A and B are shown apart, each in its own frame.
Chain A
Amino acid sequence: MSNAVIRIENLTKRYGLVTALDDISLEVERGTIFGLLGPNGAGKTTAVKILTTLARPDGGKIEVIGTDILKDPVRVRSLIGYVPQELTVDPYLTVQEHLRYYADLYHLSAVGKDSRIREVLGLVGLAGYENRRARYLSGGTKKKIDLACGLIHRPPLLFLDEPSLGLDVQARRDVWSYILRLKEQGTTSFLCTNYMDEAERLCDIVAIIEHGRIAVIGSPAQLRSQLKRDVISIEIASADEHQRKELEVLEKAVSQLRIVQGTVKNGTQLKVYVESNEIALPQILQSAASLSIPIRTITYSRPGLDEVFLHYTGHPFADERKIDA
C-alpha cells in the first residue's frame, strides 16, 4: 500500500464557462502538510470543496484515505476535518456550545466528550473562553473556534482553507504553531493559502495553482533550487518623479547585461534575476554609475516562492492578486 492519503487523478471542475479546475493530478502523503498556493480565483476552494465531498467533480478519480469520494462520501466525511475559508461561527453560541455541537455531529460518545473538548480548547489556546459567546469575540478568536471545531473528532486528515486570512501577526503565528503541533501528532493537513510566507513556513510540499492548473509541485527548497538563479533588489534615491524615469532607464540598461535573466519593477523597487550574485553585482553597480543613477539600497537574496511563482507562471504573484481582487 502506498502512503498517499489523498490521490487525485485528472480532476476537472467547471462552473458554466469557467473551468475552475483543469485536469489536476496530485498525491498527498500521510503525515505531511501539503499546500495549495495560488492567487484569488485560482481554484483552491473549489478543490477543497470537492475533496470534502461538498461539490461534485465533473471528471477525474479522487480517493481520500483510500475511499472513493463519490462512492462512499459519508465515510470520507467521518475521517476528515474541514475549516472553511470564511468564519462559520454562530454568534449566539458560546465557545463550549460550538464544540458540543460539532462533537455530536461527529457522533462522539458521551464518555470522554468533555475531556476531548477541554483538550482541543487547550490546543488552540481557548482555555478560559468556554462560556464566552462568539458574538463578542475578536475575529482571531472566532477563527480559533472554527479550528477547534474541525479538530474535535481527531481527524487524521484536515482541510484548512486559508487558515490565517485576516489575522494579525500574533494570531497567525499561533495558528501556524497549532498546525505544526498537529503534524507532530501525525495529522495530515491540506492547506490552501494566498501567502508565500505561510507556504514556506508550513508546507512540506507546495503545489502552485493558477487558473485551475497546477504550475509546479515540489518542496519549497526543491522549487527554489530548480530556479538556479538569484535575485538582486535595487532601490534608487531621488525625488518621486525622477525615480520612476531613472528606474526605467536602469532597467533597460541592466537587462542588456548578458548575465541578467529578467527584471521586474515593483513600485520604487527593481528586481533583477541573475544566474549568480557575485558576478552580476559589480556589473549592475557599474552600469548605474555610468548612468549616474544614485542607488539607495541594493540587496541580494536566494529566490523565495514568489520568484518560483514568477518563473512558472510568467508574471508576479502580487500583480495577479490585484487584477482578480
Chain B
Amino acid sequence: MLEFAQETKAQLVRWMIHLRREPFNMAFNLLNPVILLIFMGGAFQGLAQDSVGGDYRAYLLPGVLALTVFGNSMAGGIPLLFDKENGFLLRLMSAPITRVSILVSRFLAININTSLQCLIILGLGFIFGIRIATGVGGVLTLMVIGLLLGFGVTVISLILAFILENHGDFFAILGISALPLSFLSSAFVPVDSLPVWMRLIAWVNPMTYTIDAMRSLILSGWHGSLLAQMAVALVLFDGAMLWFGAKVLRRHLA
C-alpha cells in the first residue's frame, strides 16, 4: 500500500510538473470555453432573451463548464499515448510498479487540471456579473458534478490512449466528439426546443443531466429531483465506463 502511494505520487508529481511548465497549454485549453462564454454569450444575448429568459451568459455557463470537463478529460489520455509512442511508458513498465498506479496518477492529474480550469471559468463568470444562486455550497457542488462527469470521460480517454496506435487518430476523435455532444444536449438551448431526433439523443446524453443540474444551481437554487437525476445518470455512466475500461485495460497493461 505504501509502495503504491509512493509510485503513484511520483507519477502524479511528474504530471503536475508538466502542468506547471506548460502554462500555455492550459491557456490554450481555456480559449474555447472563454470564447463561448464571453463572445457567444454576448452575441446571442438579444436573440436568446425570449427563449431562455434572463442573462444568456449565465444560461451558457453550465454548458461551458460541462464542455470544459468533457474536452479536458477526453484529451487527458494524450500524454500517456505520447509516453507509449516514445518508449517512456515501456521503460516505466520495466519498474516493479503496480500497473494501476499509471492509470490512477494520470486520472488524478487530469481531474486536478479540470477542476482548476472550472474554477477559472467560474471566476471569469463572476467578473461578467454572473452570481451563483446557491452560493459557495453551489460552487462546491458544481465541482463535484464536474468530477462525476469527468470520471467516465477520463476512462474513455485512457482506453483510447492504450488502444490507439498514434496520436493523430486521437486528435481526430477529440476534434469531432466535443461539439456534437454539446449540441445534442441542453448546453446551448433548452432540450424542449430541439428537433425530436436530437431530443432523443439528448435524453441518453449524460451531458444533458450534468448541465441541467448545474444550471439549476447557478440560476435558481437547490432542486432535489434534478440533482438526483444527474446523480443516477452519471453514476450509471461512470460505472459502465469503469467496467468497460477495466476489461480493455487489463489486456493492455499485463
Interface segment, one of A18-26, A89-97, A199-207: A89-97
Interface residue? B55 (CB, 8 A): no
Partner of B95 from the list A100, A106, A133 (CB cut-off 8 Å) is A106
- Contact status B10-A74, CB under 8 Å: no
Q: Known contacts A82-B91, A105-B10; decide if A93 and B96 are in contact (CB<8 Å).
A: no
Partner of B92 from the list A52, A78, A105, A133 (CB cut-off 8 Å) is A105
- Contact status B17-A84, CB under 8 Å: no
The residue of chain B having its C-beta at the shortest distance from the C-beta of A75 within the complex is B96
Question: Which residues of B sit under 8 angstroms from A107, Cβ to Cβ?
Answer: 3, 6-7, 96
| Per-residue contact bits, chain A 43-77, to B (CB 8 Å; 1 contact, 0 not) | 00000010011100000000000000000001101
- Contact status B17-A78, CB under 8 Å: no
Bound complex: CA of A84 vs CA of B14, how far in Å? 20
Main secondary structure of the interface of A (DSSP, over half): mixed
Interface positions of A from 118 to 140, Cβ below 8 Å from B: 133
Partner of B97 from the list A53, A97, A105 (CB cut-off 8 Å) is A105
Question: Which residues of A sit under 8 angstroms from B87, Cβ to Cβ?
Answer: 84, 86, 88
Interface residue? A209 (CB, 8 A): no
Question: Which residues of B sit under 8 angstroms from A92, Cβ to Cβ?
Answer: 17-18, 21-22
Partner of B6 from the list A77, A78, A93, A104 (CB cut-off 8 Å) is A104
Bound complex: CA of A104 vs CA of B11, how far in Å? 9
| Per-residue contact bits, chain A 225-251, to B (CB 8 Å; 1 contact, 0 not) | 000000000000000000000000000
The residue of chain A having its C-beta at the shortest distance from the C-beta of B97 within the complex is A105
- Contact status B9-A104, CB under 8 Å: yes
Question: Which residues of B sit under 8 angstroms from A84, Cβ to Cβ?
Answer: 87, 90-91
Interface residue? A178 (CB, 8 A): no
| Per-residue contact bits, chain B 61-75, to A (CB 8 Å; 1 contact, 0 not) | 000000000000000
Question: Which residues of B sit under 8 angstroms from A80, Cβ to Cβ?
Answer: 94
Interface residue? B88 (CB, 8 A): yes
CB distance from A67 to the nearest CB of B (A): 12
Question: Which residues of A sit under 8 angstroms from B11, Cβ to Cβ?
Answer: 101, 105
- Contact status B90-A54, CB under 8 Å: yes
Interface positions of A from 256 to 313, Cβ below 8 Å from B: none
Interface residue? A102 (CB, 8 A): yes
Interface positions of B from 11 to 63, Cβ below 8 Å from A: 11, 13-14, 17-18, 21-22
Partner of B88 from the list A49, A90, A100 (CB cut-off 8 Å) is A90
Q: A54-B94, A82-B94, A97-B17 are in contact. List 5 more A-B contacts (CB 8 A).
A: A92-B18, A92-B21, A92-B22, A104-B10, A105-B92
Which residues in B have some Cβ–Cβ distance to A below 8 Å? Answer: 3, 6-7, 9-11, 13-14, 17-18, 21-22, 86-88, 90-97
Q: Can you list 23 pairs linking A and B with CB atoms under 8 Å apart? A: A53-B94, A74-B96, A77-B94, A77-B96, A82-B91, A82-B94, A88-B86, A88-B88, A88-B91, A93-B14, A93-B17, A97-B14, A101-B10, A101-B13, A102-B95, A104-B7, A104-B10, A105-B7, A105-B10, A105-B11, A105-B97, A106-B95, A106-B96
